A and B are shown apart, each in its own frame.
Chain A
């Protein structure tokens, strides 16, 4: 257990559905991230929050909407997704100790869009 908890573990949704992914970290870290992992592709950075402020939006489509209400919680709101959005979505947190970003990942949400 890394101290980063993601729910749900699996999600199947239709293209017209609205759903949210949740991430909670119990490590006292001050930065949180969303990454997308697709088969045969590198992990893709989607969003970065530092001290609850978004500092990076890596050209992600607007159908993905992040929310970070405090330093321990991170959400990814999903709406009108496409089948190509099916992937493993990983949340991570980092203490940003001495500017070294050691990321600790949650177990991920395996998303299938039908």
Chain B
């Protein structure tokens, strides 16, 4: 059974600080990982994906992948109130249309 685990939160971070969101996965065959942001009442929106060990940066966002530890994280620098949302971690095995396995999501609150 493929599983993706996230702390549901809420995670409260002051404005301007770094928000750190974490995710672990059970399927060692998983090859690529995705972070989605979901605002209340809206659908998930892709923020970043990563498939190589190490860090990947895009603007204020950095995704980190450690396949040995089966661990994925998302760092948000200079957090803004507009970053307040639920962040979903997802993974897949690659190579076909298997669909993504999602975690329950972490509710992030950026305090002004």
Contact = CB atoms under 8 A, between A and B. Distances in A.
B89 to A, nearest CB: 10
B110 to A, nearest CB: 22
Contacts of A40: 8, 104
A56 B42 contact: no
Residue of A90, A103, A105 with highest tally of chain B CB at under 10 A:
A103
B44 interface: yes
A101 B104 contact: no
Contacts of B31: 99
Interface of B is mostly: loop
Given A48-B99, A101-B99, A102-B49, A43 B44 contact: yes
A90 B43 CA distance: 8
A108 B43 contact: yes
Nearest to A108: B43
Contacts of B102: 42-43
B51 A104 contact: no
Contacts of B64: none
Contacts of A102: 34, 46, 49
Given A100-B51, A103-B46, A105-B45, A56 B97 contact: yes
Contact of A101 (B42, B43, B92): B92
Interface string B85-112: 0001010101111111111110000000
Interface of B: 4, 8, 31-32, 34, 42-46, 49, 51, 88, 90, 92, 94-105
26 contacts: A41-B104, A42-B4, A42-B104, A42-B105, A43-B100, A45-B101, A48-B97, A48-B98, A50-B96, A55-B96, A55-B97, A55-B98, A58-B99, A90-B44, A94-B97, A99-B31, A100-B32, A100-B51, A101-B94, A101-B98, A101-B99, A102-B49, A103-B34, A103-B44, A105-B45, A108-B43
